[in-house]
Structure 1
Amino acid sequence: MPVEGVGIREAWSKIPSPGSIETGSERFTSKRMERILAIVVAVGSTVLGAQALIAALTTLSEADFAHVGMLVLVFAPLAAMLVACVLGRGVRTASGLFAVGYLIALILWPVVVNPNHKVAAQQPWIFFLVNVGVVAAMLAFPLWLQFVWAACMPFVYGYVRLVQGDFSNEFWVTTGFDVSFTLILGLVIIALGWMFRSVAAGVDDVRGRTVSSYAAAAAATAAEEERVAMSALMHDSVLAALIAAERAETPRAQTLAVSMAREALTRLANTDAGVAEEGSDEPVAVGQIVIELRRALSELGADAIVEQRGDAGHLPGRVARALVLAARQALGNAVTHAAGRGLHVVVIGDGDDGTTVVISDNGPGFDPEAIGADRLGIRASIFARMAGVAGTAEIDSNSTGTVVTLGWSRA
């Protein structure tokens, strides 16, 4: 197969089945937008927080324990929020703690910090963090509460300032300006956050629908290709083998019919592997079968042991290949339908006279007769494959588990 064909097939196999798209990958843009918002909030809050901290330290007086407690109440959650935004972990929790802690500090402000401070023109340091509390609410709360927070926080600040200034005319003018500024800015911040998140969610939704549609188209195309290949195989090989068997009257014709039937069964079993040949008939050691099955378990991510018993001998190459491929199909079924519970593989050698492979699991079991006629996982990949090399395949399944026995004997 050309290199380009291999690349296309590998890429095609990466397309998820319809309905199997993981939520994490489906919401990629929304997660990326949340990360961007957290970084922007961290940068802006750092600047405003540093400005507020400098203003607070310049007004801090000795033995003012209440003011120190207020600083701890505000800046400790703020520092935690900044660290969480930078690291991208615990952003919602840390932001919520700061938003609530800042609101409590704002309410306590006129009682705890400088209750006799009557200078209206000098804004207190806590003013610089009003909109930081709003962006914290944007990261932590649902949309309706974000707008409530953005609308109420400036008025809480304004009421606190008016209480501190005994509702004097001078305080009404400066406080009204501060409230209007923070109110407009806070509502704009919340609106922008809502808009960016809505755009990201829309991109994710369109992406999810596009991938689902593409996956459905890919599945339909693969099914059609398989149908065409199966129809050609049935016409070229299976029907020819049946006609040859019907007309075989001499020993030579019967031998030819058997050979044609074996080739047809092999091609039918190997349709899922993309090959139609039996492979080399050079002798293969039973130990190589064990190695191949261990490799198959590793590729499937299954935790099981391949046990080897009996006398290790050699098998014809095509027989060993059929045993490995049929066993791989049984292992895949056990991992898919039984989650690999109690998976156990035993390879029993009888010298050069034959080999038996037993795959068992403790899954819920199934009824082999109830499998649809269009499902070739068992009929073609196991039964037809073993029949193509004159081997045997048995499936014993009930509510306690499933046992698949594959065998070949030189006799």
Structure 2
Amino acid sequence: MTGVTPTRGTAAPPHGARYIRIVRVLSVGLGASGVVFIALAIPSITTQLPVLQPWFGLLALLVTPVLPVALSILSRRLPVGVLKVLAGCIGIGYLVVLVLWMPAMTPPALPSGESPWVLGFLALPTVAAAIAWRPAIAWAYVGVASAALGLLRFFASGGSALVVALQDTLYGAMFSAIMTALAIAMINASARLDVAAAAARAETANAAAAAARERQRARVDGLLHDSVFTALLMTAESAVPPPASASHARQTLAELDRLKAHDAAGVPIDAPDFAALQTETIRQIAPDTALSVQTDATAEVHGDAALALGEALTEALRNSVRHAPLARRSVQITATERGVRILVDDNGPGFDPAAVPSNRLGIAISIIERMRSVAGGDAAVRSTPAGGTRVILQWSRS
């Protein structure tokens, strides 16, 4: 729902799902009430129809029980705008019946003690008015219809039942006002809930967009660290031969192209293919690494998860080679229907993770945050001085 701002004393535009639902519920209620009222009024209807003009009798039956019941039956099928028009027809038609009753009645008055049977239906058109029009108009309708009801009651009795007419008017006005107030409250409450729901959806969308931007920032930070910073470091270190720098640059460009294509596709990758890509990466970065791979042939890895796992694995191996060049390394890759788990171990000198400065991006950004930026992803780095290092990368299918 968009553009709905209910204010005090005005009805909300019928754009929200809850507003539409309430209008349909009220329409069903009108039909059910019409059936009850017509059942109670059958004795009066059968005795009074003969004294009314045939056309008027048909009009009165159409406006009071038939239209509300039809509105109830069609409430699930018709657009809300059409339902509101039909509700307005009920309200206007009822006033017409009240005004035309006396001219359409053959004797000048009904038998003593009887009142026009349409008087018992006042609550139906007033609720219909609440459905069709703004609250101010609906309340004005309650006043006009109640006054017309009292006048009809008075003249239909031959002018001899003023006190009874006043009592019927007050009773009808009070009962109709209660029903109208409930209908208006339900409509306004539904409109406010629609506005709140729209605001919540907008807030959720904004939060999701911010999270997406944060994930993108983490990915860019990781790529900068892995590709650019590492390339600069290898170039700056005189101990690294120029061919290695060139090889690393070519490998980085090829990897970026592959990851970009895979990310753009946004499609899942088969677990065996995912493991083959990681095996190739491992052989290029640390050829002596002991590798163990277990995959389900039918398992798939989501595109974003595959990208993050590959990037984090690459960074973990580069860290191991850089800081523990003589260590023995092993990688275990397990990919099943439930997700992926990768263990990267070395028996190098290790370190204290708590002592790593916050501005060091290798662990915080390139591994941990990169994995946590993916739904279902997580990572952990466990190490102790002289105790080696283990990097745990995992992704669980949601």
TM-score using structure 1 length: 0.54
* 2:121 aligned counterpart, secondary structure: helix
1:227 partnered with 2:217: yes
Which residue of the partner structure matches residue 342 of structure 2?
none
Which residue of the partner structure matches residue 35 of structure 1?
24
Once residues 231 and 15 of structure 2 are traced to their aligned partners in structure 1, the CA distance between those partners, rounded to angstroms, is: 50
- The alignment covers a number of residue pairs equal to 258
> Which of 65, 70, 78 is equivalent to 2:56?
70
Q: CA deviation at 1:252?
A: 7.1
User: Residue deviations 1:240-296, cap 9 Å, x none?
Assistant: 346668999866764553233212333355445499999979xxxxxxxxxxxxxxx
Q: Letter of the 2:59 partner, please give it.
A: L
The aligned runs of 1:240-251 (5 Å cut-off) are 240-241=230-231
Which residue of the partner structure matches residue 48 of structure 1?
37
> Which of 117, 126, 143 is equivalent to 1:125?
117
Q: Letter of the 1:58 partner, please give it.
A: T
Measured at CA, do residues 218 and 256 of structure 1 come closer, stay the same or move farther in structure 2, by a change above 3 Å? closer
Which residue of the partner structure matches residue 104 of structure 2?
112
Gap regions ≥5 residues in structure 1: 1-15, 282-320, 322-411
Could you say which structure has the greater relative contact order, defined with CA pairs below 8 angstroms and 6 or more residues apart?
Answer: 2
Once residues 191 and 247 of structure 2 are traced to their aligned partners in structure 1, the CA distance between those partners, rounded to angstroms, is: 66
Q: CA deviation at 1:35?
A: 2.0
1:163 partnered with 2:158: no
Measured at CA, do residues 40 and 275 of structure 1 come closer, stay the same or move farther in structure 2, by a change above 3 Å? closer
Measured at CA, do residues 75 and 199 of structure 1 come closer, stay the same or move farther in structure 2, by a change above 3 Å? same
Once residues 226 and 268 of structure 2 are traced to their aligned partners in structure 1, the CA distance between those partners, rounded to angstroms, is: 15
Once residues 74 and 206 of structure 1 are traced to their aligned partners in structure 2, the CA distance between those partners, rounded to angstroms, is: 42
Once residues 171 and 245 of structure 2 are traced to their aligned partners in structure 1, the CA distance between those partners, rounded to angstroms, is: 98
Which residue of the partner structure matches residue 8 of structure 1?
none
The aligned runs of 1:289-328 (5 Å cut-off) are none
Q: Confirm or deny: 8 A CA contact 1:81 1:91 kept in the other structure.
A: no
TM-score using structure 2 length: 0.56
The aligned runs of 1:6-405 (5 Å cut-off) are 27-61=16-50, 66-77=52-63, 78-88=65-75, 89=78, 90-168=82-160, 171-241=161-231, 254-271=246-263, 273=266
Q: Letter of the 1:31 partner, please give it.
A: I
Over the aligned positions, Cα root-mean-square deviation in angstroms equals 3.6
User: Residue deviations 1:81-133, cap 9 Å, x none?
Assistant: 32222321232222222221221121111121143225342122222222222
Once residues 141 and 132 of structure 1 are traced to their aligned partners in structure 2, the CA distance between those partners, rounded to angstroms, is: 14
Q: Letter of the 2:127 partner, please give it.
A: V
Over the matched positions of the two proteins, sequence identity in percent amounts to 21
Q: CA deviation at 1:72?
A: 1.2
User: Residue deviations 1:50-103, cap 9 Å, x none?
Assistant: 333542223333xx6x53211211222442332222321232222222221221
* 2:108 aligned counterpart, secondary structure: coil
Measured at CA, do residues 236 and 275 of structure 1 come closer, stay the same or move farther in structure 2, by a change above 3 Å? farther
**Larger Rg computed on CA atoms:** 2
Measured at CA, do residues 250 and 60 of structure 1 come closer, stay the same or move farther in structure 2, by a change above 3 Å? closer
Gap regions ≥5 residues in structure 2: 4-11, 278-302, 304-398
User: Residue deviations 1:195-239, cap 9 Å, x none?
Assistant: 122222222222222222222222212211220121111210244
Measured at CA, do residues 113 and 245 of structure 1 come closer, stay the same or move farther in structure 2, by a change above 3 Å? farther
Q: Letter of the 2:27 partner, please give it.
A: A
Measured at CA, do residues 43 and 265 of structure 1 come closer, stay the same or move farther in structure 2, by a change above 3 Å? same
Which residue of the partner structure matches residue 392 of structure 1?
none
Q: Confirm or deny: 8 A CA contact 1:244 1:257 kept in the other structure.
A: no
Q: Confirm or deny: 8 A CA contact 2:49 2:57 kept in the other structure.
A: no
* 2:122 aligned counterpart, secondary structure: helix
* 1:83 aligned counterpart, secondary structure: helix
Once residues 239 and 24 of structure 1 are traced to their aligned partners in structure 2, the CA distance between those partners, rounded to angstroms, is: 57
Once residues 203 and 264 of structure 1 are traced to their aligned partners in structure 2, the CA distance between those partners, rounded to angstroms, is: 47
Q: Confirm or deny: 8 A CA contact 1:95 1:140 kept in the other structure.
A: yes
Measured at CA, do residues 46 and 139 of structure 1 come closer, stay the same or move farther in structure 2, by a change above 3 Å? farther
* 1:39 aligned counterpart, secondary structure: helix
